[in-house]
Structure 1
């Protein structure tokens, strides 16, 4: 039997009961649509997270005070104040493959300019902070080592702060008050957008870390140490060197927990990637249930069709049709039903993904192989669930079929 004739007969049979056929493939449409939408949204979100992690800086190493395990208890990075300026300078001087390093001291507070005020993050760093974070200054300049040593009251503002306080005017050279203390704005940072945790990276004022510690917060320990490795290949050696040096400096004995945590971009990307993969697999598995339900619907409707067309089957066999002809005919109808549902589901999936991406403001990425796989899986559902009704039709006795009313 020719393929085009099979398709013609299958489409004609499906067309006789358009409403019933439409309801039958609804499960396939929803299942394929859900798979495509979940893959598109998941891949888009993953690419956005990777871009945001990359925006933190090139070959970035973060050293946090505190450990995820301390004394058998989960404290979390940042749960203790254990890092000092001396630790930072020792890392810079003694650990190989470290090209840049910046101690950091963070705070939060009110920033005021004229009659405008804005509560924001105050981040303290040294002269290398902007290079380590790969954060260009689009207007003015950053501060230098002498400003750090001199505990200078100078500030570089992020785009959000510049917009909120200056409303389009040039901030460079203006005096702002940070926690009621006057600071001179010397630069404006390029826009970075949100990080992978959803925080606005541009909502920040960057000042020398010594200024935060001695003028603003009064803290004696660092919030974090940022460092850049010479390359991605040397990061493991740099991390190992930092861990070994800090354990020595903090007099941590063998087998004892670290009182610090070292994290790299790869660590963050790996955790986020693993979480994203698990979520995509889980969502795809849930969506696949709709495909199975759609397959059961196809099987049920094909069984009804076999019963309704018993006399037609008998006539076909009486004029020479073989059992395998009948089997292929009904199997073709099941596959065509599933394929129609698959195509409609692909369209629904793309539309849903674009709608979600529009409101969530992230890109969608649907790999072509995911589309092909979803369509083939839908067709396979048609073959699997259509085989039993087709087999039942092919085994009907022609004489009994002709007598059927």
Structure 2
């Protein structure tokens, strides 16, 4: 009975001061919604990146050559030799640069990659029309090209680009295939690019060799042994020079990425949580003002028999109701903003339901914690002193 009466009085007090109550709750609303939004976006982006890595597989090694002295790259033959390392499935060398692509009067700057036929399987790129590049294209330095969907739309509009000729830095190439749409990744857009044979790209770009290539092992269990074997070969090549090359394990990169993303999400949640704390201070300030304004009311209640626990419970419940209502409004705003971000941007979002529960419980805790001081002040008032207050 006492609890129900305290809740009713708390609600009546809040309703009687609608504007002040809303402004008091605003800090909680902003804090809760910020936590939910930031963590949801963080989880969504992490999931998107993890999915991209998973599509490529965890049996990959990416080798980057920085070289030593005058030797800063490997030849195509030296890279191809890595395919003979035990437990290696595929080797995919890449030469990349930016070029100007032109078709009739339309031109655009685009990323160009020189590749081999193994690129299709290793990098999980496929064509939706036409054909992929073949080994014979590299052997005879064919001026054949694969075009991404974004570049194709820029140059050809809705027309089928397969069979058309384009100019790459002034050199004519025939488009033999239109790539499937891949979206964006850590390196940028996968659809705004053109792929040509590796041997052809060496001449077009006047490249002195290969600095990046990807190796796939037969299974995840073989990655460690393949990585060791590659390191031994490169150590002999560069005489054990430090920083002459780097070998990145896709599984290690994925684990590091998850750990970093998790830490970042916690940091963002912590930053947003500060506004929850500030909102709690706002509740405490308003409750102290409320106690001062209602001193006479408290005195009358005590004079007719209300105990300290009754007064204490009344103001703690009022503080809890404020923070709880703010938490509920904040959850609604956070979920709504998360949905809006997913609809209006290219970001992938994942609803952080665990953070919804944590935020609600934390807002409830804030109501209790920051309501104790003003409630204690109200409970300690003496009836005679309170009744003398105007």
Q: TM > 0.5 between the two?
A: yes
Name the residue aligned to 1:288: 273
Tell me if structure 2 keeps the 8 A contact 1:53–1:196: no
* Cα offset, 1:56, TM superposition: 5.2
RMSD: 2.5
User: Which residue in 1 is equivalent to 2:12?
Assistant: 12
Q: State the SS of the aligned residue for 1:234.
A: helix
**Is 2:119 aligned against 1:129?**
yes
Matches within 5 A, 1:269-284: 269-284=254-269
Question: Which residue matches 2:218?
Answer: 230
Cα deviation, 1:249-281, whole Å, max 9, x if unaligned, reads 3321xxx41411112333443454444334333
Q: Deviations over 1:139-163 (max 9, x none)?
A: 1111222222222222111112222
Specify the alignment match of 1:37 in structure 2: 37
| Contact 2:320/2:367, CA 8 A, preserved across alignment | yes
Partner of 1:263: 248
Counterpart Cα distance in 1 of 2:389 and 2:272: 41
- Is the 1:54–1:265 Cα contact (8 Å) retained in structure 2? no
For 1:204, which of 168, 172, 193 is the aligned residue?
193
Equivalence for 2:21: 21
Aligned to 1:99: 89
User: Is 1:83 aligned with 2:68?
Assistant: no
Shift of residue 304, structure 1, vs aligned partner: 1.9
Unaligned runs of 5+ in 1: 72-78
Q: CA deviation at 1:48?
A: 2.5
Match of 1:335 among 298, 320, 328: 320
Q: For the residues of structure 2 that align with 1:372 and 1:128, how far apart are their CA atoms?
A: 48
When residues 393 and 327 of structure 1 are mapped into structure 2, their CA distance, relative to the original with a 3 A threshold, is same
Q: Normalised by the size of structure 1, how large is the TM-score?
A: 0.88
How far has the Cα of 1:61 moved from its partner?
A: 2.1
Q: Aligned with 2:181: secondary structure?
A: coil
Q: Within 5 Å, which residues of 2 pair with 1:154-169?
A: 154-169=144-159
Contact 1:53–1:195 (CA under 8 A) maintained in structure 2: no
Q: What is the number of residues matched between the two proteins?
A: 390
Question: Contact 2:66–2:211 at 8 Å: present in 1 too?
Answer: no
How far 1:31 sits from its partner (Å)? 1.4
- Taking the TM superposition and a 5 Å limit, the aligned residue runs for 1:309-348 are 309-348=294-333
Check whether the contact 1:137–1:190 (CA below 8 A) recurs between aligned residues: yes
Contact residue 41 and residue 338 of structure 2 kept, 8 A: yes
Deviation at 1:57, TM superposition (A): 5.9
